[in-house]
């Protein structure tokens, strides 16, 4: 029965990764299964499931960490290739993660280049930036967090 429940939980979390223990318990009961939140919590621990949700106070700097000023504050961005910005995010897959890097021109909001990789390493990031420069020229400012 546990393997059956674990398979249902896994399939449900693929479509709804934000389901916590209580919501999953309600979902399983709605399917006609007899479970309580303690059993679902135990299965989450066995499966090493952690729900995706916004964490509290993620923007507050830790004590002792240097806080760098935001250098683009007050800068008028008026032309293409003046400022590019880059960011990396992860995409949950059925088994593991993929990483997405995107470079955007802040004036036109045009995605200059993007790439997906199964590893997040510096060489991959440098290659994405190099391709963007080859295709569109070099920006005056390249901003990342």
Domain positions in the chain are 2-47, 83-144
pLDDT per 10-residue tile (average), the chain, 145 residues? 88 88 95 94 90 68 82 91 94 85 96 94 95 96 90
Q: In angstroms, what is the C-alpha Rg of the chain? A: 22
- State the alpha helices, DSSP H only, in 21-143: 21-30, 37-47, 122-136
Tell me the CB-side half-sphere exposure of residue 114, using CA atoms within 13 A. Answer: 11
This prediction has a pTM of 0.59
| Per-residue model confidence (pLDDT) at position 71 | 83
Pick from 25, 91, 34: nearest CA to 9: 25
According to the model, what pLDDT value does residue 93 have?
83
Do the Cβ atoms of 17 and 52 come closer than 8 Å? yes
Do the beta carbons of residue 102 and residue 114 sit within 8 Å? Answer: yes
96 Cβ neighbours under 8 A, 6+ residues apart: 118
């Amino acid at each position: 029965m546990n393997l059956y429940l674990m398979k249902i939980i896994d399939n449900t979390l693929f479509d709804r990764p934000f389901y916590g223990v209580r919501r999953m318990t309600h979902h399983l009961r709605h399917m006609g299964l007899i479970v309580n939140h303690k059993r679902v919590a135990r299965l989450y621990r066995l499966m090493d499931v952690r729900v995706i949700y916004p964490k509290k106070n993620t923007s507050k700097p830790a004590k002792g960490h240097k806080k760098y000023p935001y250098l683009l504050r007050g800068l008028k961005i008026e032309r293409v290739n003046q400022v590019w910005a880059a960011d990396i995010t992860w995409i949950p897959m059925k088994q593991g993660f993929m990483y997405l890097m995107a470079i955007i021109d802040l004036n036109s909001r045009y995605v200059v280049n993007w790439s997906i990789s199964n590893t997040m390493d510096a060489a991959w990031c440098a290659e994405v930036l190099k391709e963007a420069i080859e295709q569109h020229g070099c920006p005056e400012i390249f901003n990342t967090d």
